[in-house]
Amino acid sequence: MQEKRIVAGYCRVSTLEQKKKGYGIDIQMREIGNYAEAAGLNIDQFYVDEARSGVTENRKALRKLLRESKTRTIRAVIVALLDRLSRDLRLTENLLFELDRLGVKVLIADMPYYDGRNRKDVLIRQIRGAIAEENRKEIIERLKKGREERIRKGRMAGGTVPYGYQRKGKEIIKNTGEAGIVRVIFYLRERWGSQQIADHLNGLGHRRRNGSHWTQRQVSAILSREKLYRFEIIQYGNVEGKNKDYVIL
């Protein structure tokens, strides 16, 4: 006897959205639940991707949803907003096509009367998908300009702080312990390769910031930042700035 096909909810939030504390997973789940209740449906399972970009299919929960759709486990999937599937129009359309091919109905909470068989509804969906893609591009452009301006003013661009530094409130300062490791790596570079340096650090019990062992790749990454460590030059793309407080060597 064939198992009952379930109704699923799919939620996604990007790293940027997490930082802005905007349209979080809890809000999406609530809106999907409200939609399901109004439609007389029960959500059997949620598929959740946190800190995942909407322009890639390489999302763990999304891959699982598609995999289980192929086994005819899922009969419908509900999203709170169309752009939770993707902020890339081509990818959104591909996902919708694939789910339809697998017999999975896609329901959109903020488009309660959407019908994928209605040409006008499909047109509206595609327009909204194009707007979501354009909004994403505008966000990226604003972020890029903001980071470039920080670099020109002699500040780090943002994101993960390079090895050798740490955050202190809104400032980025040198991390004494990590700065010492940076100096050792550059000193040993005169006689050893990256793998030998990594083996030496591991042998002394030194670990990376996340507690894992040093690797050739990580040592090479440190050495690639010589302009920052020695010459106070910070970069983002083709934009450069200087800050003497960042000199370690």
| Catalytic positions, written as ranges | 14
Angle at 18 between CA 240 and CA 91, to 5 degrees: 85
Question: How distant is the alpha carbon of residue 183 from its chain centre?
Answer: 32
For residues 43 and 36, the answer to whether their CB atoms sit within 8 Å is yes
Can you state the angle between helices 194-203 and 176-188, rounded to 10 degrees? 130
Element (H, E) at 225: none
- The CA-atom distances, in angstroms, between 164 and each of 46, 196, 205, 248 are 40, 20, 18, 8
Question: How distant is the alpha carbon of residue 181 from its chain centre?
Answer: 29
* Nearest one of 47, 46, 48, 50 to 17, comparing CA atoms: 50
**Residue 128 DSSP label:** H
